Amino acid sequence: MNRLFLFLAALLLGAAPAAADILVENVNGYTLREDGRLARFQAMWIGDDGKVRQLFEAGDRRPSRTAFRIDGRGRTLIPGLIDAHGHVMGLGMGALLIDLSDTNSLQEAQARIRAYAAANPSPRWIVGRGWNQERWHLGRFPTAADLDAAVADRPVWLERVDGHAGWANSLAMREANITAATQAPQGGRVERVGRNPSGIFVDNAMSLVERAVPPALPVTRDRALARAQEILLSFGVTSTADMGTNAADWETMRRAGDLGQLRVRIFSYASGIDNLLAIAGTRPTPWLYDGHLRMGGVKLYLDGALGSRGAWLKADYRDAPGQRGLPLLSDTELKNQMSRAAMDNFQIAVHAIGDAANAELLSAIEELSDTYKGDRRWRIEHAQIVDPADLPRFGRNSIIASMQPTHETSDWQMAEARMGNERLAGSYAWRTMLQNHVPLAFGYDYPVESPNPFPGLAAAVSREDAEGQPPGGWFPAQRLSMEEAFAAFTRGGAFASFAEDRLGTLEPGRFADFIFIDRDIFANLDQRAVRETKVLETYVAGRRVWAREN
Applying CB under 5 A, the residues found at the interface with Zn ion are: 243, 445
Amino acid sitting at position 280 = A
Give the Cα separation of 368 and 374 in Å (integer): 12
**Smaller CB distance to Zn ion: residue 156 or 231?**
231
**Smaller CB distance to Zn ion: residue 308 or 538?**
308
Closest CA to 180 of 199, 205, 200, 197: 197
Closest separation in Å from C-beta 87 to Zn ion: 6
Closest CA to 290 of 65, 8, 111, 542: 542
Give the Cα separation of 303 and 130 in Å (integer): 20
Q: List % helix, strand, coil for the chain (3-state, nearest 5).
A: 35, 25, 40
Closest separation in Å from C-beta 240 to Zn ion: 12
When CB distances to Zn ion are compared, the closest residue is 445
**Smaller CB distance to Zn ion: residue 243 or 512?**
243
**Smaller CB distance to Zn ion: residue 304 or 542?**
304
Cis preceding linkage at 286, omega within 30:
no
CA atoms within 13 A on the CB side of 455: 17
Closest separation in Å from C-beta 513 to Zn ion: 23
Closest separation in Å from C-beta 379 to Zn ion: 12
Please calculate the CA angle 430-237-450 and round it to the nearest 5 degrees: 70
The answer to whether residues 550 and 532 touch, using CB atoms and an 8 Å cutoff, is no
**Smaller CB distance to Zn ion: residue 55 or 300?**
300
Give the Cα separation of 403 and 432 in Å (integer): 13
**Smaller CB distance to Zn ion: residue 56 or 444?**
444
Sequence-distant (≥ 6) Cβ neighbours of residue 515 within 8 angstroms: 77, 78, 79, 80, 81, 236, 238, 535, 536, 537, 538, 539
φ/ψ (deg, to 5) at 176 = -90, 5
**Smaller CB distance to Zn ion: residue 91 or 459?**
91
**Smaller CB distance to Zn ion: residue 240 or 538?**
240
Closest separation in Å from C-beta 514 to Zn ion: 27
Closest separation in Å from C-beta 481 to Zn ion: 26
Closest separation in Å from C-beta 530 to Zn ion: 24
Closest separation in Å from C-beta 85 to Zn ion: 6
**Smaller CB distance to Zn ion: residue 24 or 91?**
91
Closest CA to 51 of 497, 494, 504, 493: 504
Give the Cα separation of 209 and 70 in Å (integer): 53
Closest separation in Å from C-beta 440 to Zn ion: 17
For strands 543-547 and 165-168, give the pairing: unpaired
Sequence-distant (≥ 6) Cβ neighbours of residue 435 within 8 angstroms: none
